[in-house]
Chains A and B, each alone.
Chain A
Amino acid sequence: MSETLVTIRQLSKNYTRGKQSIEVLHDINLDIPRGDFVALMGPSGSGKTTLLNLIGGLDTPTAGSVSVDGKRIDQLKGSELSRWRAENVGFVFQFYNLLPVLTAQKNIELPLLLTKMSSAERAKRAQVALTLVGLADRGSHKPSELSGGQEQRVAIARALVTDPMLLVCDEPTGDLDRKTADEVLGLLQVLNREHGKTIIMVTHDPKAAEFASRTVHLDKGLLVDDAPAH
């Protein structure tokens, strides 16, 4: 687990709100080895989600660099960055963000529309992903027919279906009860340990952070603590 997957150097991010410039991240340096499960913790406004967005290629830094698997993603623009995300990163959100008009199976197939796979291949891959998250029999259900935990599992399956090297999860259990949250976190742990997925997870919840192998603390845009989990 020594090979570094994510390398962050002197990373800063400023947002402009009206005439005011707000520094959200300041001079962050961080290495995340391949196969790691990192929990990003910190109080609200500390910059956790901003850091996650920068690692996931959803946003671009004001200064500094972000490299993933040796590629400077801070230098990618527009459609290049989109293509990179499609091929390398799976995203899991707090509120699942499934498309309500599509069934679970079709939600999972969605990222595969960007590949050259045939319709049959896409369906097969989606079914495998559904089975992996324990919802093989729920493929034809729409999100409104699933529980919160099941929706999040479908979202995880959607994140996995392209077989990305990196999973970024923004408060994946923030909308779930403890028991369901533990099940979802257990699933992420399995994906990390048994399938070798590198996972970076933003959370407020110390219990959720315990499922990670390492916890990084942020406060006011600064990296304040970087320690292995208990």
Chain B
Amino acid sequence: MTRTGFILANLFHKKTRTWLTLLSIGMAFVLFGLLQSLNLVFSAGADFVGATRLVTQSRVSFTQSLPMRMVPEMDAVPGVQRVMYQQWFGAVFREDPQIFAFAVEPQRLHDVYPEWVMPEAQWKAFIDNRTGMIAGRGLADKYGWKVGDKIPMKSNIFPQKNGSKDWTFDLVGIYDGKDEEWQRNTAGGMYVNHAYFAEAALFGGGNAGIFVLKLEKPEMAESVASTVDKRYENSADETKTQTEKDFQVGFVKQLGDIGLIVRWILFAVFFTLLLVVGNTMAQSVRERVPQFAVLKTLGFTDNNILGFVLAETMALCVIGGVVGLAIATSLGAVVAKFAGPMLPLAVDWRVWVAGVIAIVVLSLTVGLLPALRARRLKIVDALAGR
């Protein structure tokens, strides 16, 4: 037998309670891992590394449109290869408002988003047909749309000049994603021709919600963003230029101060955990008072006993914490795979470092008082049950 074996044997002296406590710690650290990773996503600063496209929106909010006159101005910014613009259409098909419909210039969409794969004939039809629309494969399959169909659509924002919010488009193409991740994004997406939208809409035709800037080289991302934003500084249409990833994260940030919410949830989780594990350890020490007295009788010092109890607590927290963080890592990868760039969760080394610190702090916080109690035990009193 070794000291480690002795500590582990004592840890499981009440098997059911230990397993339940481990389960609590494990679950808490699964939450910790995922939430901490979420926190990192939302608290991360601008990261331009590897960006091939930038998104320019109004500095105030992406719900505020920008004027179309900016298109040639942005096209002229050094490092910008091509600019695409898009306006949120607010499409509702039947009762389904969950359609991501944008009015775009077809040729620019084709040039800037090679990830959308569609026969060239359909791209040409989209470019040539002012009432044309293209739909993602997932959306088309959902409603059984086929190329050549006329699709009646409502806009919950833009009426036509005749006052009607009913629009009809000709489905001229169905696009796929270049890979599995992009294919998933075809589930709710469609595009209509901005020229037709600009001509027919009662208002908003001269504006675009965002501009997507395709870069000549990824390393120019930061300078392009800075040039664009500086150009419109102190104007009526101040801009904010960021990577697509940061722009998508910004979508989720609309829910509120995610970082604050996450911190409060983590605080609640750890406070509860503190009580659960603290109670377990206190009870465990209380039950074993005579055993600690025997250990002291055999010659183990007060500090040995303190060490045993702290080591037990540490073992409990390390086992539960590491298993929990490992599960969180796997879950984070699954979530990131399915959520895509909208929620790039990654339980990475930073989360693990924070997790290890949390494990140590938790162990010391919950273990110290019971350990000191065990350390202070007087052999004669403890053996006599006093």
Indicate, yes or no, whether A interacts with B.
Answer: yes
Interface residues of A (CB under 8 A from B): 53, 56, 58-59, 78-79, 82-83, 85-87, 91, 93, 97, 99-102, 105-106, 109-111, 113-114, 119, 122-123, 158
Report whether B298 and A78 are in contact in the complex, using a CB–CB cutoff of 8 Å. no
A126 to chain B, nearest CB (A): 9
Contact A58 B9 (CB under 8 A): no
Q: In the complex, how many angstroms separate the beta carbon of B183 from the nearest chain A beta carbon? A: 56
Task: Give the 3 A-B residue pairs with the shortest CB-CB distance, closest first.
Answer: A86-B299, A79-B301, A82-B301
List B259-312 residues whose CB lies under 8 Å from chain A. Answer: 290-291, 294-304
Q: Which residues of B contact A109 (CB under 8 A)?
A: 1
Q: Is the interface of B mostly helix, strand, loop or mixed?
A: helix
Contacting residues, chain A, for B291 (C-beta < 8 A): 97, 99
Q: Contacts A99-B294, A119-B2, A122-B1; is A93 near B9 (CB within 8 Å)?
A: no
User: Interface size on B (CB < 8 Å)?
Assistant: 25
Out of A79, A85, A158, name the residue touching B302 (CB < 8 Å). A79
Whether A82 contacts B2 in the complex (CB less than 8 A), given A59-B380, A93-B383, A99-B291, comes out as no
Task: List, in ascending order, chain B residues with CB within 8 A of A93's CB.
Answer: 294, 383
Known: A58-B380, A102-B9. A82 touches B1 (CB 8 A): no
Q: Most chain-A CB neighbours within 10 Å: which of B9, B10, B13, B298?
A: B298
- Do residues B9 and A82 form an inter-chain contact, with CB atoms below 8 A? no
Q: Check A113–B1 contact: CB distance below 8 A.
A: yes
Give 20 A-B pairs besides A53-B380, A79-B301, A101-B12 with Cβ atoms closer than 8 angstroms.
A79-B303, A82-B296, A82-B299, A82-B302, A85-B297, A86-B300, A91-B297, A97-B290, A97-B383, A99-B10, A100-B13, A102-B1, A102-B6, A109-B1, A110-B295, A113-B3, A113-B6, A114-B298, A119-B1, A119-B2
- Bound CA–CA A71/B296 (angstroms): 20
B323 — which chain A residues lie within 8 A by C-beta? none
Asked if B379 is an interface residue, CB under 8 A from chain A, the answer is yes
B380 cross-chain contacts in A, Cβ below 8 A? 53, 58-59
- Quote the shortest CB–CB distance from A188 to chain B (angstroms): 18
Name the one of B10, B13, B302 contacting A78, with C-beta atoms under 8 angstroms: B302
Q: Which A residues touch B6, using CB under 8 A?
A: 102, 106, 110, 113
Bound CA–CA A100/B1 (angstroms): 15
Task: Specify which chain B residues have a CB less than 8 angstroms from the CB of A56 in the assembled complex.
Answer: 297
Q: List 17 A-B contacts (CB under 8 A).
A: A58-B380, A78-B301, A78-B302, A82-B302, A83-B299, A86-B298, A86-B300, A87-B299, A101-B13, A102-B1, A102-B6, A105-B1, A106-B9, A110-B6, A113-B2, A114-B298, A122-B1
CA distance A109 to B6 in the complex (A): 10
A74 CB, nearest partner CB in chain B, Å: 15
B298 touching A85, Cβ below 8 Å: yes
Chain B, residues 1-27, CB within 8 Å of chain A (1/0): the string is: 111011001101100000000000000
Interfacial chain B residues near A100, Cβ < 8 Å: 13
B151-182 to A contact mask, C-beta < 8 Å, 1/0: 00000000000000000000000000000000
Complex CA gap A106/B297 in Å reads 17
How many Å lie between the Cα of A122 and that of B379 in the bound state?
26
B contact residues around A113 at 8 Å (CB): 1-3, 6
- Across the interface, name the chain B residue whose C-beta is closest to A109: B1
Q: Which of B9, B302, B303, B383 has the most CB of A within 10 A?
A: B383
Of A78, A110, A158, the most chain B CB neighbours within 10 A belong to A110
Complex alpha-carbon distance, A79 and B305, angstroms: 12
Chain A residues within 8 Å of B383, by CB: 58, 93, 97
Known contacts A97-B290, A102-B1; A82/B12 CB under 8 A? no
Q: Which residues of A contact B299 (CB under 8 A)?
A: 82-83, 85-87, 111, 114
Residues in chain A near residue B304, CB distance under 8 A: 82
Residue among A53, A82, A86 with the highest chain B CB neighbour number at 10 A:
A82
Write out the residue numbers on chain B whose beta carbons fall within 8 Å of the beta carbon of A99.
Answer: 10, 291, 294
Name the B residues within 8 Å of A106 (CB-CB): 1, 5-6, 9
Q: How far is the CA of A110 from the CA of B7 in the complex (A)?
A: 12
Residues on the B chain within 8 Å of A101, using CB: 9-10, 12-13
Distance of A78 Cα from B383 Cα, bound (Å): 18
Contact indicator per residue, chain B 309-350, by CB within 8 Å of chain A (1) or not (0): 000000000000000000000000000000000000000000
Min CB gap B212→A, angstroms? 65
A56 to B383, CA, bound (A): 14
- Pairwise interchain contact B294-A97, C-beta atoms closer than 8 A: yes
Chain A residues within an 8 Å CB radius of B5: 106
What residues of chain B lie closer than 8 Å to A85, measured between beta carbons?
Answer: 297-299
